[in-house]
Amino acid sequence: MRALLASFLAAAVGFAADWPQYRGPNRDDVSSETGLRQSWPKEGPKRLWISREIGVGYSGPAVVGDRIFITGGRDDREFLIALDAESGEERWATPIGPTFRWKGNSWSAGPSATPTVDGERVFALGGNGDLVAADRSTGKELWRTNLPKDHDARVNPIGGGPKDLGWGFTFAPLVDGDKLICCLGGPKGLLAALDKSTGKLIWRSAGITDQAAYTSPMAFEVGGERQFVALTNQGLHGVSAKDGKSLWSHKRKQPYGTEVINSPIVKDGQIFTTVQAGNGASELVSVKKDGDSFQVEVAYSNKNLLNHHGNVIRVCDHLYGYGQGWTCLELKSGEATWTNRTLGSGSATWADGRLYCLTESDGTVALIEATPESWTERGRFRLPEASKLRQPQGKLWTPPVVSNGLLLLRDQELLFAYDVRANK
């Protein structure tokens, strides 16, 4: 059996479809993987293994080669954990910091940020703002910093949670050359660039003092100028990749009055955002360079695809995600081409022409052939176990990942691995 699995992984790695960070190689939840099943048998794809010891948290997995990297809270400590992709066995675990929790919190515990893998380093963020760099092979700690203590970082607590901490730090660090881009928030600046080798501060976007939301920074280029974009309760901001200088802001007339979770979708000078409740909207803005300045125009603002805990995926000129049902939205117009309510709300990923959907309430997994014209289900199954550690009001809010032939699904301390390769 181990020989078969080793052969499977060796072939899968050849696909070069690693998932080294939050939302995949391009931070868009779209895999380049091919050769996957286009439909599933009644019982679903073959399950390879279940790991039951990764701890509490909503962190997604990062996958590079034969290793899976994920974070979780075990009792009173959070850990960055490396698993063997072949067997699910733990290879090492590096402490991050105290487990994020607070009295009265019945929704979440532990870390929520997906690790970022860059060469021989892995960067992991804990719920309390402990940021750790570790050696990818051994887990040896290379450096660490506590963002609130060392950088006066602050999270908007709207919707619940302690002052300046809210539901915890959740952004996924973004590697850009020799820099690690972080969404810190607070009076010293929303975004920061740290030296990825040492953790030392390089620059801070001091002109933008919004508290951080639960979104991650995104790389963006307009008019030949590289920049980073972040979404907060107050609106969108773009800063120079070179020095963190504020380039433009798109402030909302009414700030979002609830948790802002979905990171911006950026491409070709356009930015799509979606927030469900509390003055929620799905919006498309365009950013253009005009001489030495940037102009921001709102293409539309409507409620046609309001997404809260899940995610939205752009495929070519359309968006897919859960709003008032699973929805396909034409990006340019903001109009829905279809809505389907045969599957409950949840999150998704895209690979080889299919949506892989995971419902947040009962762990149903569905394979969907989704086009701008239609939704066609090609198989579904339900996860065989449910977390025993999940907070009573928490749900399955970790999006699926497809990487190197594996479909990875998390429910807190449980991580499930399925073989989704096509039969040969």
Q: Which domains does the chain have, with CATH numbers?
A: 2-419 (2.130.10.10)
Q: Tokens standing for 382? A: 């339900």
pLDDT recorded at residue 4: 39
Q: Tokens standing for 226? A: 């590289």
Q: Is 207 exposed, middle or buried (0-12, 13-18, 19+ CB in 10 A)?
A: middle
Cα 200 to Cα 170: distance, rounded to the nearest angstrom: 20
Q: What's the start-to-end Cα distance of the chain, in Å?
A: 18
- DSSP class of residue 373 equals S
Q: What is the pLDDT of the chain when averaged over all its residues?
A: 95
How confident is the model over 181-221, as pLDDT tens digits?
A: 999 999 999 999 999 999 999 999 999 999 999 999 999 99
Q: Tokens standing for 75? A: 């009792």
Cα 29 to Cα 36: distance, rounded to the nearest angstrom: 16
Q: What percent of the chain has pLDDT over 90?
A: 95
Rounded mean pLDDT of 328-342? 98
Q: What percent of the chain has pLDDT over 70?
A: 96
How confident is the model over 270-284, as pLDDT tens digits?
A: 999 999 989 999 999
pLDDT recorded at residue 5: 40
Residue 1 confidence (pLDDT) above 60: no
Cα 403 to Cα 421: distance, rounded to the nearest angstrom: 10
Sheet of 218-222: strands edge to edge?
218-222, 225-231, 235-240, 246-251
Q: Tokens standing for 416? A: 């499930």
* E strand or H helix at 11: helix 2-13
Q: Is 120 exposed, middle or buried (0-12, 13-18, 19+ CB in 10 A)?
A: exposed
pLDDT recorded at residue 423: 77
Cα 28 to Cα 31: distance, rounded to the nearest angstrom: 9
Rounded mean pLDDT of 395-410? 98
* Angle formed at CA 315 by CA 326 and CA 257, multiple of 5 degrees: 55
Residue 424 confidence (pLDDT) above 60: no
pLDDT recorded at residue 10: 38
Q: Quick one: pLDDT band at residue 225, thresholds 50, 70, 90?
A: very high
